[in-house]
Amino acid sequence: MKLKICWMYHDLMDLYGDKGNIQVLKTRCEKRGIECVVDTCTLDEEKTLADYDLLFIGGGADREQGLLVNDLLKRRDAIQEAMDQGSFILLICGGYQLFGQYYLDGDGQKIEGLKFFDYYTEAASRSDRCIGNIAVEAALDNERIIAVGFENHGGQTKGVNQPFGKVLKGHGNTYQSAFEGFYNGQVLGTYMHGPLLPKNPEIADFILRKALAKRHGECTLEPLNDMLEHKAKEVMLKRLGL
């Protein structure tokens, strides 16, 4: 069994340890004997994105988003082709924002998004910045989980009609929001850094199953010993009073 991952803009979008998400996916594959190929794709680099089972874009500040947006917009058709062929997409923070209509930064500069989805992002005042640990009740298709992470974003993402989950503690898509992230069955966008996957092995395996389905159809993953991961999550939930 084989999984191919394309980590897009690895040299620009890697905020708050987002590279850890790639390491978790690779390690969980290796423990199961699944061959995991991780390629990177940055500015002006040729890649056939539809060849990959999973596309990943991490988080970045306004400057980094401004640097890559023209390159990303040129790849819109290629990303659409990848989605049409069944690739799964994981987006963190800035990556999540760029799949929407636009991002209006703190200086009033408008960064156009890929416009795949209706949501849009506008910078908030400094007093409304969303920062701190967060816990979210989410449904991974039919599996209910509690996810934990760390958020730090000034952008307020509005118009999300398919949120990833309900906020239990923290902010989410907007300051003191009830909901966090976006999930439509194929694209998962979230503000949860930390990185997201080390303390949320259920999400990691969910993403692996969704991505592997493109090449291999529906599959069952061998259970792993996630005692340490669950202990880390328990510590965070206790810290949040949950």
User: Does 219 qualify as catalytic in the annotation?
Assistant: no
Q: Is 215 annotated as a binding residue?
A: no
CA distance 115 to 72: 12
Catalytic residue among 29, 36, 41, 93: 93
Q: Which of 10, 153, 171, 193 is catalytic?
A: 193
Instruction: Kindly give, in sequence order, each residue whose CB lies less than 8 Å from that of residue 48, ignoring residues fewer than 6 positions away.
Output: 78
Assess whether 93 carries a catalytic annotation: yes
The alpha carbon torsion through 4, 11, 96, 6 (nearest 10 deg) reads -10
Nearest to 212 by CA among 53, 17, 12: 53
CA distance 192 to 148: 8
User: 50-53, long-range: CB within 8 Å, 24+ apart, which pairs?
Assistant: 50/78, 50/81, 50/82, 50/84, 50/85, 50/87, 51/4, 52/4, 52/5, 52/6, 52/82, 52/87, 53/3, 53/4, 53/5, 53/86, 53/87, 53/88, 53/211, 53/212, 53/214, 53/215
Q: How many CB atoms lie under 10 A from the CB of residue 92?
A: 29
Binding residues for substrate, by number, are 129
Q: Write out the catalytic residue numbers.
A: 93, 193
